[in-house]
């Protein structure tokens, strides 16, 4: 199998441009050399650099919120680890795409939202669903295909929805939700609300026509939509380098006049800061933004992914930059939390996941009559 | 009642619904400034402006998706496809998204949207602009499929479709936009979806026709009456999904003979489905095998003579009726 291309230097350099947040466009640097090299030193340096950045940004956020962000990240991690565990013993069926490694993206961006803001995402949706407020019980019961699931056992892993929480799903067709999210933003403008829409998708979705159609309309009609490209470097088992002629997704946004930024997706506070800028632009000026958030999934594409397309060295290198580890260290250094606090956070998350698991185990299977309900309104 | 064309009846329905409900808007290519490629939206942009009548780029998948998202968020979009051939570009949104959203979300997110525009053949526009897609869309649970054949039906059915909480595929016919008829002027004139209409009563043979084949079936019925004294009943289901099979079965039980006339390819067509359901529900009442007239099993050719050969027409329907009547 080909070795995996990574772009360490791009991430480092573009992060610097994040700090001057008022720029309409972050200028794209010329295409940097794509390297197959796996170098732990690079990772360690980047980790250090992000720590420095977090030290600066930490002051801008309330300590209680910082703790809650860390809790949500830990909860997401432990929840997904539990999913992997019970998937392997057959408790969860079908496709199951885990979020492990990408937590800083959902938490950093979504915890800047108001309750009435809208969120839509692809099929890697468990953590986004919980961050938007859906109880872990309802998500786990959905994974179990039970009556108590958030969509009554009809959607499964890929299709979490909650109208109450303005969570518009969980979508299984790569890129499809980019257009739907654009329509949700269209409706907010039409109804003259100041709600913003966060629309998540992976970098491979950028190769679909709907991405380009959506960005064109969003800028043409000035829609308050924030497009969050979670660039985890692989579309299933195909690396970005093998699938995309230009590696900069932010540069593609420029083609439509849409403002864009690169963000390091290992850094929850950098994600937060960039999202805040995008939200301001959307809420106050009704303008779209594209955030290319570079992250890495530590697990396979789905539970059925043997992962032969990338080296364990590569995974290890990114694990050195674990977003939870980074944020935890930053909060300890800033004395926002103590080791004991972290232990408590972890225990609380474990308890929440155990509670969710118990709820799912005890929730009955859907009644057979449910096969034919909700087909038509 | 006022006499008007199908085009104007559709226009009136759109106008009335835009006025009635502030969440209704029309979106599509050339619907606003250009007044509609087939003038169905004539005058609406001038009257209601950019917010309610939205011109789009040529981006079918994109604007269908915007419609789906807007419908999920509480609006009632009417999405015009310049022709339904172009809806195939948007099929991912219609089939993978609109049709399944309510179900996938456990009943939480309704998608009250109408996808409308001309379906089927026009005048010598060749292979990529002449397809009839009702069987394609009717195959998917979650979608409703509507096909009017008169100005009154066009108005009443479109208004019902816009008020319906489900995604509705509303199939018009370019050849029929100029067809005239009496239309009730009542602003709440609605024709319920899923109810067939007996367009002509008869006792000897039933023709089930829809859209363009309804006027052809009516002419065939007159000819059979005049030349052979055969009394033909013509039924227009008007809604393909849900299908009012009861009205069809009732008629077959009376006439014992069935001809289906449709402007789509025969293989796995709506006519095939009707044949199956009639076989299931009225097998013992049939005095002859069901006969079907469909478009030829080839892409639509350009040459006028070949196009005519491909399409259903009155002589073909008359021949089919004679065959089931053993004449």
Question: What is the secondary structure of A233-270 as a DSSP string?
Answer: SEETTEEGGGT-SSS-HHHHHHTTT-EEEEEETT-HHH
All domains of chain A in start order, with CATH: 61-364 (3.40.50.970)
* Each residue's pLDDT tens digit, B45-78: 999 999 999 999 999 999 999 999 999 999 999 9
Both structure tokens of B80: 């015009």
Q: Give the per-residue pLDDT at A32.
A: 43
pTM of the model: 0.94
Contact between chains at B65 and A154 (C-beta distance less than 8 A): no
- What secondary structure letter does DSSP report for A232? -
B284 touches chain A (CB under 8 A): no
Of residues A151, A162, A375, nearest to B142 (C-beta): A375
> Sorting pLDDT into bands at 50, 70 and 90, what band is A42?
confident
pLDDT at A11 over 60: no
Backbone phi, psi, residue B134, to 5°: -60, -40
Strand-pair partners of B5: B180
Q: Which one of B60, B172, B273, B307 is the catalytic residue? A: B60
Q: Give the per-residue pLDDT at A376.
A: 98
CA A316 to chain centre: 20
* Each residue's pLDDT tens digit, A110-158: 999 999 999 999 999 999 999 999 999 999 999 999 999 999 999 999 9
Please state which CATH class domain B2-183 belongs to.
Answer: alpha beta
Query: Do A324 and A77 touch, CB atoms closer than 8 A?
Result: yes
A151: which chain B residues are within 8 Å (Cβ-Cβ)?
104-106, 108
How many CB pairs lie under 8 A apart between chains A and B? 139
Domain over B197-324 is classified CATH 1.20.120.530? no
Taking CA–CA distances from B110, the nearest residue in chain A reads A377
The secondary structure of A111-153 as a DSSP string is TTS-TTSEEEE-S--HHHHHHTT--HHHHHHHHTT-TTSTTTT
The residues on A that touch B, with CB distances below 8 Å, are: 118, 120, 149-155, 159, 161-163, 168-173, 176, 178-188, 190-191, 209-210, 213-214, 216-217, 220, 373-377
Q: Which residues make up the CATH 3.40.50.920 domain(s) of chain B?
A: 197-324
Q: What percent of chain A is modeled with pLDDT above 70?
A: 90
Q: Which residues make up the CATH 3.40.50.970 domain(s) of chain B?
A: 2-183
A161: which chain B residues are within 8 Å (Cβ-Cβ)?
104-106, 108-109
Q: Give the per-residue pLDDT at A20.
A: 37
Closest to B257 (Cα-Cα) out of B237, B285, B238, B295: B285
Closest to A223 (Cα-Cα) out of A238, A213, A209, A233: A213
Mean pLDDT of A48-54: 93
* Each residue's pLDDT tens digit, A302-340: 988 888 899 888 898 899 999 999 999 999 999 999 999
> Sorting pLDDT into bands at 50, 70 and 90, what band is A38?
low
**Separate counts of helices (H) and strands (E) for chain B:** 12, 14
Q: Give the per-residue pLDDT at B98.
A: 98
Active site residue B60: yes
* Each residue's pLDDT tens digit, B207-219: 999 999 999 999 9
pLDDT at A29 over 60: no
pLDDT at B84 over 80: yes
B56: which chain A residues are within 8 Å (Cβ-Cβ)?
217
Query: Do B79 and B27 touch, CB atoms closer than 8 A?
Result: yes
pLDDT at B139 over 90: yes
Q: Give the per-residue pLDDT at A247.
A: 87
Q: Give the per-residue pLDDT at A37.
A: 56
The secondary structure of A281-294 as a DSSP string is HHHHH---EEEEEE
A190: which chain B residues are within 8 Å (Cβ-Cβ)?
25, 51, 70, 75
Burial category of A76 from C-beta neighbours within 10 Å (exposed 0-12, middle 13-18, buried 19 and up): buried
Q: Which one of B129, B134, B174, B307 is the catalytic residue? A: B129
Half-sphere exposure of A328 (CA within 13 A, CB side): 19
Q: Are strands A225-231 and A289-294 parallel, antiparallel or unpaired?
A: parallel
Closest to A212 (Cα-Cα) out of B59, B81, B30: B59
Q: What percent of chain B is modeled with pLDDT above 90?
A: 100
Instruction: Report how far apart, in Å, the C-alpha atoms of B289 and of each of B231, B233, B259, B266, B320 are.
Output: 18, 17, 9, 16, 11
Contact between chains at A176 and B25 (C-beta distance less than 8 A): no
Q: What percent of chain A is modeled with pLDDT above 90?
A: 81
The more confident residue out of A31 and A196 is A196
pLDDT at A267 over 50: yes
Contact between chains at A187 and B104 (C-beta distance less than 8 A): no
* Each residue's pLDDT tens digit, A297-308: 999 889 888 888
Active site residue B30: no
């Amino acid at each position: 199998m080909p070795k995996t291309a990574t772009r360490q230097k791009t991430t480092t350099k573009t992060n610097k441009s994040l700090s001057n947040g008022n720029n309409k466009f972050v200028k794209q640097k010329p295409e940097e050399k794509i390297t197959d090299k796996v170098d732990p030193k690079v990772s360690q340096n980047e980790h250090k650099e992000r720590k420095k950045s977090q030290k600066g940004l930490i002051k801008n956020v309330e300590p209680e919120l910082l703790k809650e962000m860390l809790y949500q990240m830990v909860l997401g991690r432990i929840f997904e680890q539990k999913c992997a565990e019970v998937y392997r013993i057959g408790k969860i069926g079908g496709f199951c795409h885990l979020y492990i490694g990408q937590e800083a993206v959902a938490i950093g961006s979504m915890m800047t939202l108001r309750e009435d803001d809208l969120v839509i995402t692809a099929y890697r949706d468990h953590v986004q669903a919980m961050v938007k407020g859906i109880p872990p019980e309802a998500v786990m019961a959905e994974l179990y295909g039970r009556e108590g699931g958030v969509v009554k056992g009809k959607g499964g892993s890929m299709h979490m929805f909650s109208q109450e929480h303005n969570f518009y799903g969980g979508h299984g067709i790569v890129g499809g939700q980019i257009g739907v999210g654009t329509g949700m933003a269209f409706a907010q403008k039409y109804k003259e609300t100041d709600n913003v829409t966060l629309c998540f998708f992976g970098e491979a979705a950028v190769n679909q026509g709907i991405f380009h159609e959506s960005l064109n309309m969003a800028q043409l009609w000035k829609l308050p939509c924030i497009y969050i490209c979670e660039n985890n470097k692989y579309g299933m088992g195909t690396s970005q380098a093998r699938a995309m002629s230009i590696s900069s997704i932010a540069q593609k946004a420029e083609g439509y006049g849409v403002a864009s930024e690169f963000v390091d997706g290992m850094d929850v506070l950098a994600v937060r800061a960039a999202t805040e800028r995008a939200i301001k632009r959307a809420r106050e000026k009704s303008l779209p933004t594209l955030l290319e958030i570079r992250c890495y999934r530590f697990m396979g594409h789905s539970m059925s992914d043997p992962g032969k397309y990338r080296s364990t060295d590569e995974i290890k290198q990114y694990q050195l930059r674990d977003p939870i580890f980074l944020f935890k260290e930053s909060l300890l250094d800033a004395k926002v939390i103590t080791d004991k606090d972290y232990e408590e956070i972890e225990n609380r998350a474990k308890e929440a996941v155990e509670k969710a698991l118990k709820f799912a185990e005890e929730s009955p299977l859907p009644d057979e009559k449910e096969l034919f309900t909700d087909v038509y309104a | 009642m006022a006499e008007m064309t199908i085009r104007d009846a559709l226009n009136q329905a759109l106008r009335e619904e835009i006025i009635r409900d502030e969440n209704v808007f029309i979106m599509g290519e050339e619907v606003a400034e250009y007044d509609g490629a087939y003038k169905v939206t004539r005058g609406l942009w001038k009257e209601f402006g950019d917010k309610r009548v939205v011109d789009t780029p040529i981006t079918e998948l994109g604007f269908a998706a915007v419609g789906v998202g807007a419908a999920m968020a509480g609006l009632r979009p009417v999405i015009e496809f310049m022709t339904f051939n172009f809806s195939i570009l948007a099929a991912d949104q219609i089939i993978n998204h609109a049709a399944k959203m309510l179900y996938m979300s456990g009943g939480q997110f309704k998608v009250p949207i109408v996808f409308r525009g001309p379906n089927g053949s026009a005048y010598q526009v060749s292979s990529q602009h002449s397809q009839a897609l009702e069987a394609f869309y009717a195959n998917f649970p979650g979608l409703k499929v509507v096909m009017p054949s008169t100005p009154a039906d066009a108005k009443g059915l479109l208004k019902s479709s816009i008020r319906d909480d489900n995604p509705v595929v509303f199939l018009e016919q370019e050849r029929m936009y100029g067809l005239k008829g009496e239309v009730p002027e009542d602003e709440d004139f609605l024709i319920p979806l899923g109810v067939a209409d007996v367009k002509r009563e008869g006792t000897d043979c039933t023709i089930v026709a829809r859209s363009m084949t309804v006027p052809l079936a009516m002419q065939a019925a007159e000819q059979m009456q005049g030349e052979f004294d055969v009394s033909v009943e013509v039924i227009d289901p008007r809604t393909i999904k849900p299908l009012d099979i009861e009205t069809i079965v009732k008629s077959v039980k009376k006439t014992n003979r069935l001809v289906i006339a449709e402007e789509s390819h025969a293989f796995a067509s709506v006519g095939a489905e009707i044949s199956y359901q009639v076989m299931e529900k009225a097998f013992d009442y049939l005095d002859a095998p069901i006969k079907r007239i469909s478009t030829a099993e080839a892409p639509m050719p350009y040459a006028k003579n070949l196009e005519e050969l491909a399409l259903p027409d009155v002589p073909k329907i008359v021949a089919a009726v004679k065959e089931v009547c053993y004449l």
